[in-house]
């Protein structure tokens, strides 16, 4: 491997510095190269990747090395940029184009931290703050601000929130493509506080553009037998918070987010019935999944949670036939993982109310016990007693219902 030019310098940048200062594990290290060119990087043995701007992989450790660059906005959207990677571009110019102060730090080979925008101070304050007004040129940064706030449990600086609101008002958020929206949403859902992501989006008015189905829940008071003390949007974020505490599963957290989509009223005078909001909810679950190309495993769990979570809250009242219907809807006999995810999402829903966050949820244990009883049915043995598939299916169903009945407590 050849050396770079004598006048070039390499700096560690961005997340690695931020995470180390926060005392968090460093997953990836990114580097910026000042005073070099694509040709010099290749001649030194670095492997070029990426088409939009020169990024190279180190030949031994495969870490990313990017040439220092500046950006210029040319059109609306996150792809509407041209880049310059002249060897004359300074480290400070490269840091100036970055999104947040906590990501705009560099470290020299001697260990000196270069922090021209106060990133270390904002880490101490727990604040997400934009570096410059150029932040407004890239709508993806709206999503990133919300995601970093969720990841670190930080607040968004007032001036940054105002800038984000202006971007939404100017239509920049309309240019976000589904792939990037889902990419950032998936990462946000996997943070320890995913509810903050959606709260920030709502505060900057972007939720109505990106997730109108979720935004429509806010301001809708819960019906008396549901959760009368809060509105449906607040409840949804509380459920998402509980889901994150109960499980690190992405599908469970996504199901928590979408479980009440059908509860919004069609007018101030109209409440949908339980069946009505379930049907509407399924339509909206599919609408979001289609728009954002949500993975099918997430869609399937979110649909069954949306349709059946109220059944779980009435576990002791359910007839054996209804229990079996629920198990079949979850595909529990072939997919026990989905069944367990369903129970977790329902528990999060039960806990998603003020004062009930640490409540016990025996309903899940009750239903799981009935599921275990249904599993004792030997479908293979039953199949040997009949000749056609219809008779076999009916006999297995009847045996499972009887098994559930025998496991239900006396009423």
Residue-wise pLDDT tens digits, 334-350: 999 999 999 999 999 99
Asked if the structure places residue 299 within a domain, the reply is yes
| Domain final residue pick, 96, 123, 150 | 123
Please give the tally of structural domains in the chain. 2
Q: Are residues 118 and 217 in the same domain?
A: no
Q: Are residues 354 and 217 in the same domain?
A: yes
Cβ(192)–Cβ(240) below 8 Å = no
Q: In the prediction, which pLDDT does 156 show?
A: 98
Asked if the structure places residue 177 within a domain, the reply is no
Cβ(103)–Cβ(18) below 8 Å = yes
**Cα 201 off chain centre by:** 13
Q: Which residues in 62-197 belong to E strands, given as ranges?
A: 64-67, 70-73, 81-84, 106-107, 113-114, 127-128, 155-156
- The yes-or-no verdict on residue 266 having pLDDT over 70 is no
pLDDT confidence band for 1 (50 / 70 / 90): very low
| Domain final residue pick, 123, 139, 167 | 123
Burial of 133 (0-12, 13-18, 19+ CB in 10 A): exposed
Percentage of the residues of the chain whose pLDDT score is greater than 70: 89
Evaluate if pTM is beyond 0.85: yes
- First-last CA distance in the chain: 78
Burial of 337 (0-12, 13-18, 19+ CB in 10 A): middle
Selected residue with higher pLDDT from 37 and 288: 288
Q: In the prediction, which pLDDT does 268 show?
A: 42
**Cα 242 off chain centre by:** 14
Q: Are residues 110 and 217 in the same domain?
A: no
Asked if the structure places residue 338 within a domain, the reply is yes
- What gap in Å lies between CA 411 and CA 409, rounded to an integer? 6
Q: Are residues 118 and 215 in the same domain?
A: no
**Cα 409 off chain centre by:** 39
| Domain final residue pick, 83, 108, 123 | 123
- What gap in Å lies between CA 79 and CA 18, rounded to an integer? 26
Asked if the structure places residue 169 within a domain, the reply is no
Asked if the structure places residue 182 within a domain, the reply is no
Q: What is the CATH number of the domain that holds 91?
A: 3.30.460.10
- The yes-or-no verdict on residue 73 having pLDDT over 90 is no
- What gap in Å lies between CA 298 and CA 189, rounded to an integer? 12
pLDDT confidence band for 152 (50 / 70 / 90): very high
Residue in the block written with tokens 């101490």: 124
Q: In the prediction, which pLDDT does 365 show?
A: 95
**Strand-pair category, 70-73 with 64-67:** unpaired
Written as six digits, the tokens of 32 are 């910026």
Written as six digits, the tokens of 279 are 């049907």
Give the chain's mean pLDDT: 89
Q: Are residues 247 and 349 in the same domain?
A: yes
Asked if the structure places residue 201 within a domain, the reply is no
Q: In the prediction, which pLDDT does 229 show?
A: 57
- What gap in Å lies between CA 357 and CA 347, rounded to an integer? 10
Q: In the prediction, which pLDDT does 324 show?
A: 97
Give the domain range for residue 254: 211-407
Asked if the structure places residue 151 within a domain, the reply is no
User: Residue 198's closest CA among 251, 146, 141?
Assistant: 146
Asked if the structure places residue 343 within a domain, the reply is yes
Within 8 A by CB and 6+ apart from 183, the residues are none
């Amino acid at each position: 491997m050849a050396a770079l030019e004598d006048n070039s310098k390499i700096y560690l940048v961005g997340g690695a510095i931020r995470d180390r200062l926060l005392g968090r594990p460093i997953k990836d290290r990114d580097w910026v190269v000042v005073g070099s060119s694509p040709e010099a990087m290749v001649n030194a043995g670095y492997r070029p990747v990426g088409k939009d701007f020169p990024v190279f992989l180190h030949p031994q450790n495969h870490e990313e090395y990017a040439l220092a660059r500046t950006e210029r906005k040319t059109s609306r959207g996150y792809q509407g940029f041209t880049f310059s990677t002249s060897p004359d571009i300074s480290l400070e110019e490269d840091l100036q184009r970055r999104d947040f102060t906590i990501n705009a730090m560099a470290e020299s080979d001697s260990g000196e931290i270069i922090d021209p925008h106060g990133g270390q101070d904002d880490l101490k304050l727990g604040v997400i703050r934009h570096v410059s007004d150029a932040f407004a040129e890239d709508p993806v940064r709206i999503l990133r601000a919300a995601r970093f706030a969720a990841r670190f449990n930080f607040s968004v600086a007032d001036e940054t929130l105002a800038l984000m609101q202006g971007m939404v008002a100017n239509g920049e958020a309309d240019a976000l493509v589904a792939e990037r929206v889902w990419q950032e949403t998936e990462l946000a859902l996997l943070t320890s506080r995913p509810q903050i992501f959606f709260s920030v989006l709502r505060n900057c008015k972007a939720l109505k553009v990106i997730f109108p189905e979720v935004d429509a829940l806010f301001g809708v008071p819960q019906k008396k037998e549901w959760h009368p003390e809060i509105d449906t949007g607040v409840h949804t974020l509380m459920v998402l918070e509980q889901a994150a505490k109960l499980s690190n599963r992405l599908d469970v957290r996504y199901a928590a987010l979408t479980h009440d989509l059908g509860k919004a009223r069609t007018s101030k005078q109209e409440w949908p019935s339980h069946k009505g909001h379930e049907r509407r909810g399924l339509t909206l679950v599919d609408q979001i999944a289609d728009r954002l190309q949500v993975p099918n495993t997430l869609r399937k769990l979110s649909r069954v949670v949306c349709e059946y979570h109220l059944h779980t809250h009435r576990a002791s009242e359910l007839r054996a036939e209804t229990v079996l219907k629920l198990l079949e809807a979850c595909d529990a006999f072939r997919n026990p993982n989905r069944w367990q995810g369903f129970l977790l999402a329902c528990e999060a829903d039960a806990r998603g109310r003020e004062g009930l966050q640490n409540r016990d949820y025996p309903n899940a244990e009750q239903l799981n016990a009935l599921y275990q009883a249904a599993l004792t049915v030997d479908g293979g043995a039953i199949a040997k007693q009949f000749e056609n598939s219809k008779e076999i299916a009916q006999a297995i169903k009847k045996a499972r219902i009887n098994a559930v009945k025998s496991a239900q407590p006396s009423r």
